[in-house]
Chains A and B, each alone.
Chain A
Amino acid sequence: MIPKNIIPANKRELKNYIGIGTTIKNTLTLTHRALLKMIHNPEVFFDMTLMPITFTLLFAFIFGGAISGNITNYLPTLIPGVLIMTFVTSCGSAGAQVREDADKGIMNRFKSMPIARIAPLASILIADFVKYAVAGIIVFVIGFLLGYQPDAGIIAVGVTILFLMFITWCLSWVFAWVGMIVKSASTVTSVSTMMMMPLSFLSNALVPVETMPWWLQWFVNINPLSHVITAIRLMLTNGTVGLDFLVSLGCCFLILIIFIPLTLHAYKKK
């Protein structure tokens, strides 16, 4: 029922700005919404689970013998490669989600409410951290089952997952921006696959660079993903942070500096 009287407009406490506290509260509430959506639609985890499983098994059995003599010796090369491929394919999902929301009536409701404009966007990008974490853990579990034991131990595994989560999060801003400028949500996913798939294959993810022709080596060496992969291989075997690690982080900050303003600008115009 509607029990009490409605407070008239002139008796209300009103403010014409949205403070940082409200912004954070709104973002958390909407992150909760995005997480609930994941729980209701567990299919979103399927591709993130299925892909690393098939890739690891497939590549381990096909290339393992040829490249490293046997499967176990190949795993330290392969696992970081599969990790990066898994993460990289999921970096478009936030952009697609943002776009889907923007196309639906729910965006009109958000717009008519006194909430921080940025909250619907930010919440989706935050909630996707959960997906990334799940993906990272799955790859390591599969590797472990095949006999992979990173020399640097469990802490290095944790650092690697966090590092990759951050990198993927930065990349997801690129596709959040793509989501704002293309026609539909499905375009975002195809753009991200078209861009990231070749990038992840044309890297040192699966095979040693030395086996490639010189022009390919040239590209593989400037591909930022190769630096990321080298960085996590070093982290997982030695437990140390090398130059590649820093170069990767540098690339990420560059992406953030360019794409956060671009995305916000496109988002506000919508």
Chain B
Amino acid sequence: MNKEENSKENESLAIEAHGMVKKFGNYMAVNGVDLKVPVGSIYGLVGPNGAGKTTIINMLATLTQANDGTIKIFNYDVKKENNIVRQLIGLTGQFASIDENLSAIENLMIFGKLHGLSGGEAKKRAYELLEEFNLTEHKKKSVEKFSGGMRRRLDLAVSLISEPPLIFLDEPTTGLDPRTRAQLWKTIRKLVEKGSTILLTTQYLDEADQLADRIMLIDHGQVVIDGTPDQLKDSIGAESLQFTVRNIEKVNEAMKIVEKILGVEVQQVEDSNVTAPMTQIDKLVDILNELNKANIHLSDVHIQKPTLDDVFMTLTAESIKNVPGEK
């Protein structure tokens, strides 16, 4: 019974990794990361620069071998069955991986043929993808003459040519204009609708929030937290109170009053902007009353729900504090 359930779970996982470790010399770039990505979902990998996101993708996509741990892609082992895994994945790396000296259509055709498509099929797919990524009018242009965003789009198009069930996108929207980004989000959602699974990294947390079903935050090669976007936001506490004091000299006095009422630490964000975690919303009336009595006037006050940016700031700052003790 249990076994059956287990194998069913395995079947529905596109990625299943346990204890992934990657060392560069003595440096632990990835240090014991577990990852489970269900088929048909969008999984977001976020973290500061150098956290190990690209390294994780490289291990999953058979580009580098992990020093430790097991990695399975659709239940195929990346070490032993790497050629099978390669037939199931598409990769858009962080840095362009298309041929500069060829035109857009030539790039698509060559990679299509390498994936085993016939000349005709490759051509058909190439034109579909050029259309999807708004590159049709530039199809004959040499990639050397492409703008950064156009390169990015072509790079993405090339990774979709084999219609893989699992797609890795390492910072796919970096350098894209807002409209192109929105279009790419649409494409990503459409791919998932058609049955693809997507693992993406991004530095734009609103993007992860919008797209991803689950997000993993990593730092220094370790998982800081993972869960749905809402779980992540809940993890750092509730809403926060934010207000701006009209008279800068009175900021300190205002902070003391709020600290006394809420019993928490209050932070000065900018000169006259103050923020405080707010667990009991109804205390707001007391705060406003007390401030009024002390003759402190506010130019702005609002209650802010935590964003993923807050999660990122709070949790990665914590792990920076923790790390020196660990090493």
Contacts and interface: CB of A to CB of B under 8 A. Distances in A.
Interface of A: 1-10, 12, 14-18, 22, 25-26, 29-30, 32-33, 36-37, 40-41, 104-109, 111-115
Interface residues of B, number: 51
Interface of B: 11, 14, 39, 61-63, 74, 76, 80-84, 86-89, 91, 93, 95-102, 106, 110-111, 113-116, 128, 131-132, 142, 158-160, 163-166, 187, 190-191, 194-196
A6 B11 contact: no
A106 B154 CA distance: 13
B114 A6 contact: no
A37 B107 CA distance: 11
B313 to A, nearest CB: 31
29 contacts: A1-B131, A2-B187, A6-B163, A7-B165, A9-B14, A9-B39, A9-B88, A9-B165, A16-B83, A30-B110, A32-B110, A33-B102, A33-B106, A36-B106, A37-B99, A37-B101, A37-B102, A40-B101, A41-B101, A104-B100, A105-B97, A109-B98, A112-B62, A112-B63, A112-B86, A113-B86, A113-B111, A114-B87, A114-B115
B194 A5 contact: yes
A15 B83 contact: yes
A36 B104 CA distance: 13
A176 B113 CA distance: 25
Nearest to A18: B83
* Interface residue SS majority, chain A: loop
B11 A36 contact: no
A12 B87 contact: yes
Given A14-B84, A111-B62, A40 B142 contact: yes
Contacts of A113: 86, 111, 114-115
Nearest to B128: A1
B102 A108 contact: no
Nearest to A26: B114
A6 B93 contact: no
Contacts of B88: 9, 12, 14
B102 A40 contact: yes
B96 A105 contact: yes
Contacts of B166: 9
B47 to A, nearest CB: 21
B63 A16 contact: no
A42 to B, nearest CB: 12
Contacts of A3: 128
A58 B91 CA distance: 53
Contacts, number: 116
Nearest to A38: B101
A109 B91 contact: yes
A111 B63 contact: yes
B195 A8 contact: yes
Contacts of B113: 25, 29
B24 to A, nearest CB: 16
A106 B102 contact: no
Given A111-B63, A112-B62, A9 B114 contact: no
A122 to B, nearest CB: 14
Nearest to B93: A108
A29 B74 contact: no
A109 B195 contact: no
A18 B86 CA distance: 12
Contacts of B132: 1-2
Contacts of A26: 114
A112 B80 CA distance: 15
A5 B195 contact: yes
B11 to A, nearest CB: 7
Given A9-B88, A112-B63, A112-B91, 10 more contacts: A5-B195, A8-B165, A16-B82, A17-B83, A29-B110, A33-B110, A104-B97, A109-B93, A113-B114, A113-B115
Nearest to A115: B114
B158 A109 contact: yes
Nearest 4 A/B pairs, CB to CB: A105-B97, A9-B74, A109-B97, A114-B86
Given A2-B191, A32-B110, A106-B98, A112 B196 contact: no
Contacts of B191: 2, 6
B76 to A, nearest CB: 8
Contacts of A111: 62-63
Contacts of A17: 83
A33 B39 contact: no
A40 B87 CA distance: 31
B49 to A, nearest CB: 19
A33 B98 CA distance: 12
A41 B89 CA distance: 32
Contacts of B74: 9-10
A6 B48 CA distance: 33
Contacts of B82: 16
A209 B111 CA distance: 53
Contacts of A14: 76, 84, 87-88
Contact of A16 (B84, B95, B100): B84
A7 B87 contact: no
A30 B88 CA distance: 21
A37 B160 CA distance: 23
